[in-house]
Chains A and B, each alone.
Chain A
Amino acid sequence: MKTHPTPPIAPAPVSHDTFHQLGGDLLVARELVKSYPVKGGAANTIFDGLDLTVRENEFVAILGHSGSGKSTLLRMIAGLESIDGGTIEVGGRRVTGPGKDRMMIFQHYALLPWLSVEGNIRLAVDEVMGDRTRSERDEIVREHIAMVHLEAAADKRPHELSGGMRQRVGIARALAVQPLLLLMDEPLGALDPFTRARLQDQILDLYYARHQTIVLVTHDVDEALLMADRIVVLRANGSASIGRIIEVPFDHPRDRKALREDGRFQELRNATLELLEEYFDEMSATDG
C-alpha cells in the first residue's frame, strides 16, 4: 500500500564553490521496506518502498518529526537495523550488516565510560586498521584528538567531559577510521544551543576539509538548512515516505550570520516549517 508515491530524486544542484564538487552516487537505496511485528500478528510498516540516493561529497539531512522513521532509516543504512525489502548499496557494495565503511555518530555519544578519550578512539582505530603498524595507529589517534581540539582531555574519561566535548570524541572516533559515509543520528540533539552552534560549525569545517559524505538525521530545520546540500523531509502517514526533497541553494562554506540575514533562508525556513507542521498534523490525524 503506497499511499504517497516517492517523488523522484532530483540531482543535486551544480555547485559553484570549489569546496565541494559532488561525485557519483555513493549511497543508493531502492524500494526499502521496513516493518515491525506488533501484537496480534499484524505488522507495523515503517517504510514501504522508499528510494534515496546520496552522492559522493554530498551533505544530506534527513528531516522529520519524532516517529517519522528518520532514525530507523539511518540505522538501516548503518546496518544496525534489518532491511525487510529492497536494497541499500554503499560504494557499490550491498549493505548486509554494520561495516567500517559507514561510521555512526550517536545522539548519546555511545562512548565507553571505562575508557579515556584516547582509549575510545583507539578502540575503533585498532579494530579497523589492524593491518597498520602500532606507530601509524598511534599517529592517527593523536591526529584525530587534535582535530577536535581535545589534546588536553586525552586521558580523561567521558564522565569528566561536557556533552559537547563528548560528542567531539564521537566525531573523532568516527572520522579516525576514514569511512566512506558518515552517519549522524541527531548528534547535537542533547546539547545546549550555543554548544550546538559551535559544533555545527566544526562539523562543517571537517566536511570541507575532508570531503566527507554525510547523512545527518535531525528534527532541527535551521540545522538542516545551515549544513545540508539537500534536505529529505520524511512524511509519516500510515507508513513513512519521502514527502519532499528540498535543495538548499546556498554556497559552501556557509556562514550562519550571513544566512540568517538572507531573505531566501528565511523563506525556505518558513516553507520547511510549514511542511513539517502539515506532515505532523497528518500523522496525528492518522493516529487518531
Chain B
Amino acid sequence: MSHIVPGRRGARAGAPYLRPLLPLVGFALLLALWWFAATFLTNLMPGPITALRANLDYLANPFHVRGPGDIGVGFLLLQSLQRVLIGFALGSVVAIPLGFLIGLSPLARSMFDPLVQVLKPVSPVAWLPVALAVFNLANPSAIFVIFITSLWPTVINTAVGVAGVPKDYLAVARVVEMPRWKQIVRIVLPAALPYIFTGLRISLGIAWLVIVAVEMLTGGQGIGFFVWDEWNRLNLSAVFLAILLIGLTGLLLDLAIGRIQAAFTWAPEG
C-alpha cells in the first residue's frame, strides 16, 4: 500500500503546470471528432482545415457590406445582439416589477403564479406566429419573442428573492418606523438583488439561444438567418464559423452581466 500513495501524490504534484493545457485538449478532441465525421460520415461537411480556409474572407472582413444578401458576420452578430438587448431590456422592465408584486403580495401570487407556471415551459419560439400576426413585421416579432423569453426566469427569481428577504431585516425597518415604500427600496431591493441578477443572467442566456432559432424562421439580417442561409447554400464552413461566433458572443454576454452583478451586489457570507 505505502508505495502507491506517494506515487499518486507525485502524479498530482506533476499536474498543476499541465492544468492550463487541459482546455486545449478538450478542443482538440472536438476537432478530432469533427475531422472524423467530415472524413468518414458525410461529404457535405468540410474538415477543420478546409473550413478555416473557406472562412478566411469572413474573418478578414467582418464588417463588409456587399449588398443586402452579403453582409459581414460582425454586422450580423451586432444586429442579433441588438434584438436580444432590446427584447431583454423590455422583458426585464416588466419582469422585475412583476416579480416584486408576486413576492410581496400573496394576492398577486395567487393571481399570477399559475399563469407563470403554465407559460414558463413553452418554447418562446411558439409565440412567433402570434407576434407576426400582431406586428406583421419580422423585426418587432423577433424582439417580442425575446421579450417573452426574458420574462420567466427574471419573474421567478425576483419573486423568490423578494419573498425570501429575512424577516429580521424587515423587523429592523419596522422598528425604526420606515415607511413601506422605503422598506421596499432600501431593504427588499438590495436583499433581493442577487436573486434578481441570477434571473437576469438566465434570461439573457436563454434569449441568446432563442434569437438564433427565431432568426432562422423570420429571415432578414442576423446571425441566425445566416446559419440557415449558409446551410441552404450547402456552405457548412460558414455554419461552423457561426457556431463558434455565437458561442463566443454568448460567453461575453454572460461575463458582462457577471461583472455588472459583482459591481452591484454585496458579497455573500463566507
- A-side interface residues toward B, CB under 8 Å? 78-80, 97-100, 102-104, 106, 108, 110, 112-114, 123-124, 127-128, 157, 159, 173, 177
Contacts and interface: CB of A to CB of B under 8 A. Distances in A.
Contacts of A112: 169, 172, 187, 190-191
B177 interface: yes
Contacts, number: 64
3 tightest A-B contacts by CB?
A: A114-B266, A110-B168, A98-B174
Given A112-B187, A114-B191, A127-B177, 12 more contacts: A97-B174, A98-B171, A99-B177, A100-B175, A100-B176, A103-B175, A106-B172, A112-B191, A113-B269, A123-B186, A124-B172, A124-B176
24 contacts: A78-B171, A97-B174, A98-B175, A98-B177, A99-B175, A99-B177, A100-B176, A100-B177, A103-B175, A106-B171, A106-B172, A110-B171, A110-B172, A112-B187, A112-B190, A113-B269, A114-B190, A114-B266, A123-B172, A124-B176, A127-B173, A127-B177, A127-B182, A128-B177
Interface string B144-166: 00000000000000000000001
Contacts of B68: none
A110 B266 contact: no
B177 A157 contact: no
Give the residue among B171, B172, B174, B186 with the most A Cβ atoms within 10 A: B172
B123 interface: no
A114 B171 CA distance: 17
B190 A127 contact: no
Provide the main secondary structure of the chain A interface: loop
A128 B182 CA distance: 13
A113 B194 CA distance: 12
B253 to A, nearest CB: 25
A103 to B, nearest CB: 6
A106 B168 CA distance: 8
A123 B173 CA distance: 9
Interface string B245-270: 00000000000000000000111111
Nearest to B190: A114
Contacts of B190: 112, 114
Q: Which one of B176, B186, B191 has the highest number of Cβ atoms from chain A below 10 Å of its Cβ? A: B176
A109 B267 CA distance: 18
Chain A CB within 10 Å, residue with most, of B168, B178, B191, B267: B168
B168 A177 contact: no
A113 B266 contact: yes
Contacts of B187: 112
Contacts of A159: 267-270
Nearest to B193: A114
Nearest to A104: B175
A110 B168 CA distance: 5
A100 B193 CA distance: 28
B175 A78 contact: yes
A55 B166 CA distance: 33
Contacts of A114: 190-191, 193, 265-266
Contacts of A108: 168
Contact of B171 (A80, A113, A157, A173): A80
Nearest to A109: B168
Interface in B35-55: none
B24 to A, nearest CB: 38
Contacts of B191: 112, 114
Contacts of A103: 175
Most chain A CB within 10 A, of B174, B187, B269, B270, is at: B174
Contact of A102 (B169, B173, B175, B267): B175
B119 to A, nearest CB: 32
A128 B177 CA distance: 7
Contacts of B172: 104, 106, 110, 112, 123-124, 173
A127 B174 CA distance: 10
B169 A110 contact: yes
A136 B265 CA distance: 30
A134 B72 CA distance: 58
Contact of A104 (B166, B171, B178, B265): B171
Contacts of B268: 113, 159
Nearest to B267: A159
